[in-house]
């Protein structure tokens, strides 16, 4: 039980890896919810449990004012602005703020939130600008990634998931298999559309 926020939440947190699972019941009014990380979340994914609604995503590098904006994990939609999700209020080391939107804080509705805080050598949450070349943008993480999730924020586009447990092929170390978490589509394999290199200190686009 976590009473750091105006809503008492139920939290399972691993502060070493910077991940917590938060269950709460909405009030329909602007509120705060304790997340148990002891560090400010870089990314929060929220899903209403008792109604069919979208997955709401906060990401600290989404825009210059990320608490004003949001992404949808189940959609190709670009970043959009909507104050009724996070009340234009950045999360803190103890709570995140929710406003009055029904798919994040409906009265008596139940929600689950997955909260992620950056941990050196373990996780990184950032942004980059593409260059349109096969010699693509390099993204520094400070460690070799095992799992990378990407989303174009400036346009409608699929989310992309790539990991080090699925085949590397094409005569290089490039990861060529990918999944779309916003889609029911099967894995796409051995295609050159979204090639990525997992390097010792980050990752680099190769298409």
Residues whose CB falls within 8 Å of the CB of residue 100, separated by 6 or more in sequence, listed in order: 28, 29, 30, 84
Residues whose CB falls within 8 Å of the CB of residue 169, separated by 6 or more in sequence, listed in order: 176, 190
**Tens digit of pLDDT at every position of the chain (207 positions):** 999 999 999 999 999 999 999 999 999 999 999 999 999 999 999 999 999 999 999 999 999 999 999 999 999 999 999 999 999 999 999 999 999 999 999 999 999 999 999 999 999 999 999 999 989 999 999 999 999 999 999 999 999 999 988 766 555 678 888 999 999 999 988 777 888 999 999 999 988
Q: How many CB atoms lie within 10 A of CB 120?
A: 10
Residue among 95, 85, 143, 144 at smallest CA distance from 115: 95
Q: Which two tokens stand for residue 89?
A: 């209020």
Residues 165-178 as b or e (16 or more Cβ within 10 Å = b): eeeeeeeeebbbbb
Residue among 54, 186, 39 at smallest CA distance from 125: 39
């Amino acid at each position: 039980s976590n009473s750091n926020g105006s809503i008492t939440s139920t939290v399972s947190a691993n502060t070493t890896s910077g991940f917590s699972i938060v269950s709460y019941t909405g009030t329909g009014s602007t509120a705060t919810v304790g997340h148990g990380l002891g560090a400010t979340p870089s990314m929060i994914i929220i899903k209403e449990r008792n109604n069919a609604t979208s997955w709401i995503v906060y990401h600290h590098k989404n825009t210059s004012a990320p608490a004003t904006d949001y992404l949808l994990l189940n959609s190709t939609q670009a970043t959009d602005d909507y104050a009724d999700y996070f009340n234009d209020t950045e999360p803190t080391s103890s709570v995140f703020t929710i406003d009055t939107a029904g798919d994040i804080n409906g009265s008596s509705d139940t929600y689950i939130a997955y909260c992620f805080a950056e941990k050196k050598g373990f996780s990184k949450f950032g942004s980059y600008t593409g260059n349109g070349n096969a010699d693509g943008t390099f993204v520094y993480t400070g460690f070799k990634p095992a799992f990378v999730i990407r989303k174009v924020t400036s346009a409608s586009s699929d989310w992309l998931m790539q990991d080090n447990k699925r085949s590397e092929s094409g005569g290089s170390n490039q990861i060529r298999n990918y999944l779309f978490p916003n889609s029911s589509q099967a894995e796409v394999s051995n295609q050159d559309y979204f090639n990525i290199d997992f390097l010792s200190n980050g990752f680099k686009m190769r298409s």
